[in-house]
Amino acid sequence: MELAGKVVVVTGAASGIGRAMARRFAAEGARAVVVADLDGDGAATVAGEIDAAGGTATAVATDVSVEADVRRLVERTEADHGPIDLFCSNAGIATGGGVEVPDEEWDRIWRINVLAHVFAARAVLPGMLARGEGYLLQTASAAGLLTQIGSAPYTVTKHAAVALAEWLAITHGDAGIKVSCLCPQGVRTPMLLGGHAAGDPGASAVLASGAALEPEEVAEAVVRGLAEERFLILPHPEVAEYVRRKADDRDRWLAGMRRLQARIGALR
């Protein structure tokens, strides 16, 4: 996909990866970028940055966990700018803990990290299928291909996000619908930095390793991945090798992850 002249929606775009993608898409010549976020003021700030740089952007306060909000976002975009060429379902949250995490927290992360992708697809697919073209970009995580030590809810929901993206690509790929799934590892976003500040040893270990990317580096990988229409977009290329190792010998991989967990636990 070439971004020039396209109408693009990015959720979770007030900060982090979403902000970087929105700004980069505008720089690539998108006809309009719709900046959606629960933080309406933050979305307006990013839209203002894009406008000031010569692009065209609209900010829409959106709670992606509420289907009516997602539908309203799509309807407003189409009314203001025309059909949506690329919908980036990027908003996400993280929470630590295992199976003991309360039901309300499981429900919250499930709605944001999984159902928001479902809501987006429900809203945009009819029009895209009628036109015979459209692109869905879903932000998951390397945790959706591997795991996230210390967080069962994040691991489970990101695996589900990857599975949904695969299903959409299989089901609608021959009807002109393109699907990409973004799976970064550590990125210097408010999510990762907040985890570090809260004492999450996993987040601290990622930052200490020097492997965390800047959001702008992820946006660059996204632009390349969209141009090549790759399903998996891996800003950290080493993730592909980790996935191969996992597939080759899952028991060995699990043993290695337990060793990594023990090393991270020693940081507490």
Q: Which residues does the annotation mark as catalytic?
A: 154
- Please list the residues that pair with 8 across neighbouring strands: 33, 86
Strands 232-233 and 177-182, bridge-based pairing: parallel
CA triple 36-37-38, angle to 5 deg: 140
Identify the CA nearest to 179 among candidates 219, 135, 140: 135
**Residue written as token pair 């997602």:** 70
**Are 15 and 36 in contact, with CB atoms under 8 Å apart?**
no
Q: What whole-number distance in Å separates Cα of residue 73 and Cα of residue 94?
A: 23
240: its two tokens: 């592909």
Q: What whole-number distance in Å separates Cα of residue 238 and Cα of residue 265?
A: 23
Q: What whole-number distance in Å separates Cα of residue 9 and Cα of residue 33?
A: 6
Angle (deg, nearest 10), helices 16-27 and 215-228: 50
